[in-house]
């Protein structure tokens, strides 16, 4: 047999063979297809190994695969069974690549998230991760491989994106560990490998579009109801995380929350006006914890408040690591946007429970500006709702008075 004979072989009414020796032959079928086959015997039974189709598999290629099959047979290995096992191994390997695991994770664990949040995660993976390690077996990827990916993003001047990609990559690895395709989260060794995005300040999102995305993600948080409500109240009230988690039902008087001096950083009683949205969230929570001391009791010991890590961990579950958004960051988020909305410094700083002015001024200024702060807090909550609901244009409503 030669190349010309293979090329010129014409179909007939019935299939026929052109042999090449050693059991290799070309099967020409009536429809014109030409198939390479290797006929051999195992245990006294005739077997046929499908090598491939001509012209995709040339005569030279067919002879090479034929010789490999004969070598296997000489070692008492059935070439057909070996081919099936190899095919199965390749299929299993393909299911264990970083890209395959990440795609599976996106489908299984982001189905109930806000679609744009899922889309953003997928775009980041496709742009920054898949081209470099997407085809690698996830269990073989090491921390330096991931760091190289993050360094490329950092070098492009998008450090915040690098932190977010690190968080997403860690979530994929943890899913791989849970499904038996990796032994550990390799991003755990990269703590401190990237510089922080905002120095020593608590990380916070301040862009209105990203705030809206965060609020939508929080609204569909999959976890304890108390945790979801703590997240949402953190945005509406922007008190310090410790103040919120230690909130007591006895401290709520009508439409205000009065925090006693011993719980405040400055050692002074702090009054927090409760917007209608906050009151609605508390009404939702009251049947669950209303008979307890704390509004947000610990899951393990209801005589104590929830853990200091609860809200932070919930943010991480939503895809926001500590270098992107923190529980304390809700205060910076509110402060930044409230100033943009035109509210007076005194109102904002009093609501944040910051000291304003000199010691003498603070000694004589006993005003709490409750009415103005109540109006500000309601306007703030309405503004957040407009971002959450996806308003395209958010008017800045200047405060009066």
Q: Maximum CA pair distance of the chain?
A: 109
For the stretch 253-275, pLDDT in tens is 999 999 998 888 778 899 999 99
328 a catalytic residue: yes
User: What is the average per-residue pLDDT within 171-186?
Assistant: 91
User: What is the average per-residue pLDDT within 14-35?
Assistant: 92
Residue 10 pLDDT more than 60? yes
At residue 91, the pLDDT reads 62
Task: State the Cα–Cα distance between residues 138 and 129, nearest whole angstrom.
Answer: 12
For the stretch 300-352, pLDDT in tens is 999 999 998 899 999 988 888 877 888 999 999 999 999 989 998 889 999 99
At residue 160, the pLDDT reads 83
Residues pairing with 253 in the sheet:
256
Task: State the Cα–Cα distance between residues 329 and 87, nearest whole angstrom.
Answer: 51
Range ranked top by mean pLDDT from 51-60, 281-290, 347-356: 281-290
For the stretch 85-132, pLDDT in tens is 766 556 656 778 999 999 999 888 765 555 666 778 889 999 999 999
265 a catalytic residue: yes
Q: Average model confidence (pLDDT) for the chain?
A: 86
At residue 250, the pLDDT reads 96
Same domain, 300 and 371: yes
151 a catalytic residue: no
- Which listed residue (265, 268, 286, 362) is catalytic? 265
With CA atoms as reference, report the closest residue to 190 among 147, 129, 130, 152.
147
Reported as a pLDDT band with limits 50, 70 and 90, residue 199 is very low
What pTM did the predictor assign? 0.53
User: What is the average per-residue pLDDT within 190-194?
Assistant: 88
With CA atoms as reference, report the closest residue to 252 among 293, 207, 195, 219.
293
In a domain? residue 203? no
At residue 400, the pLDDT reads 43
Last residue of a domain, one of 58, 92, 126: 92
At residue 355, the pLDDT reads 63
Same domain, 85 and 140: no
Same domain, 183 and 106: yes
Last residue of a domain, one of 74, 92, 110: 92
Q: What is the DSSP string of 7-43?
A: HHPPP-SS-EEEEEETTEEEEEPTTS-EEEEEEEEET
Same domain, 238 and 367: yes
- Which listed residue (181, 331, 373, 388) is catalytic? 331
Number of domains within the chain: 3
In a domain? residue 201? no
Task: State the Cα–Cα distance between residues 197 and 308, nearest whole angstrom.
Answer: 23
Reported as a pLDDT band with limits 50, 70 and 90, residue 392 is very low
- Which listed residue (240, 337, 350, 373) is catalytic? 240
Same domain, 146 and 180: yes
Cα Rg of the chain, angstroms: 33
C-alpha dihedral sign at 197, 110, 308, 242: positive
At residue 191, the pLDDT reads 86
Same domain, 117 and 237: no
Beta-carbon count within 10 A of 278 CB: 23
29 a catalytic residue: no
- Which listed residue (164, 228, 328, 350) is catalytic? 328
CA 17 remoteness from chain centre: 57
The residue assigned the tokens 């393909």 is: 94
The residue assigned the tokens 């409750």 is: 370
At residue 113, the pLDDT reads 58
331 a catalytic residue: yes
66 a catalytic residue: no
Reported as a pLDDT band with limits 50, 70 and 90, residue 294 is very high
Reported as a pLDDT band with limits 50, 70 and 90, residue 394 is very low
Same domain, 152 and 239: no
At residue 92, the pLDDT reads 59
Same domain, 11 and 78: yes
In a domain? residue 122? yes
User: What is the average per-residue pLDDT within 57-80?
Assistant: 89
CA atoms within 13 A on the CB side of 85: 6
- Which listed residue (354, 361, 362, 397) is catalytic? 354
Q: Apex CA 181: angle with CA 180 and CA 186, to 5°?
A: 110
In the chain, what percentage of residues exceed pLDDT 90?
A: 54
At residue 358, the pLDDT reads 40
Domain span including residue 45: 3-92
Q: What CATH code is carried by the domain that includes residue 10? A: 3.30.160.390
Same domain, 109 and 88: no
| Phi, psi (deg, nearest 5) at residue 300 | -100, -25
In a domain? residue 401? no
- Which listed residue (45, 200, 364, 366) is catalytic? 364
């Amino acid at each position: 047999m030669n190349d010309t004979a293979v090329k010129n072989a014409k179909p007939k009414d019935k299939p026929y063979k052109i042999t090449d020796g050693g059991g290799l032959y070309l099967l020409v079928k009536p429809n014109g297809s030409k198939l390479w086959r290797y006929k051999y015997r195992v245990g006294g039974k005739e077997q046929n190994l499908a090598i491939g189709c001509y012209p995709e598999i040339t005569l030279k290629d067919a002879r090479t695969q034929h010789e490999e099959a004969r070598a296997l047979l000489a070692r008492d290995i059935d070439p057909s069974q070996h081919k099936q096992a190899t095919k199965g191994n390749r299929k299993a390997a393909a299911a264990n690549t970083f890209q395959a695991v990440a795609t599976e994770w996106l489908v299984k664990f982001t189905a109930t998230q806000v679609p744009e949040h899922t889309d953003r995660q997928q775009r980041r993976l496709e742009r920054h991760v898949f081209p470099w390690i997407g085809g690698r077996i996830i269990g073989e990827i090491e921390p330096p491989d991931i760091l190289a990916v993050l360094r490329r993003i950092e070098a492009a001047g998008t450090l915040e994106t690098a932190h977010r990609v690190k968080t997403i990559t860690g979530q994929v690895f943890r899913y791989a560990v849970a499904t038996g395709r990796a032994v550990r989260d390799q991003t755990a060794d990269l703590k401190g490998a990237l510089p922080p995005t905002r120095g020593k300040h608590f990380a916070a999102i301040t862009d209105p579009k990203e705030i809206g995305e965060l609020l939508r993600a929080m609204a569909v948080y999959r976890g304890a109801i108390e945790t979801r409500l703590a997240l949402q109240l953190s945005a509406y009230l922007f008190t310090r995380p410790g103040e919120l988690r230690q909130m007591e039902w006895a401290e709520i008087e009508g439409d205000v929350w009065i925090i006693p001096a011993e719980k405040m950083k400055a050692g002074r009683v702090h009054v927090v006006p409760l917007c209608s949205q906050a009151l609605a969230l508390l009404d939702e929570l009251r049947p669950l914890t209303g008979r307890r001391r704390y509004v947000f009791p610990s899951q393990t010991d209801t005589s104590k408040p929830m853990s200091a890590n609860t809200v932070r961990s919930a943010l991480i579950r939503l895809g926001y690591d500590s270098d992107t958004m923190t529980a304390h960051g809700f205060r910076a988020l509110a402060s930044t946007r409230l100033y943009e909305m035109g509210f007076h410094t005194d109102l904002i700083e009093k609501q944040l429970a910051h000291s304003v002015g000199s010691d003498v001024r603070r000694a004589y200024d006993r005003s709490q500006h409750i009415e103005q702060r109540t109006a500000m807090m309601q306007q703030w909550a309405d503004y957040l709702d407009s971002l959450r609901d996806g308003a395209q244009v958010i008017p800045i409503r200047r405060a009066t008075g």
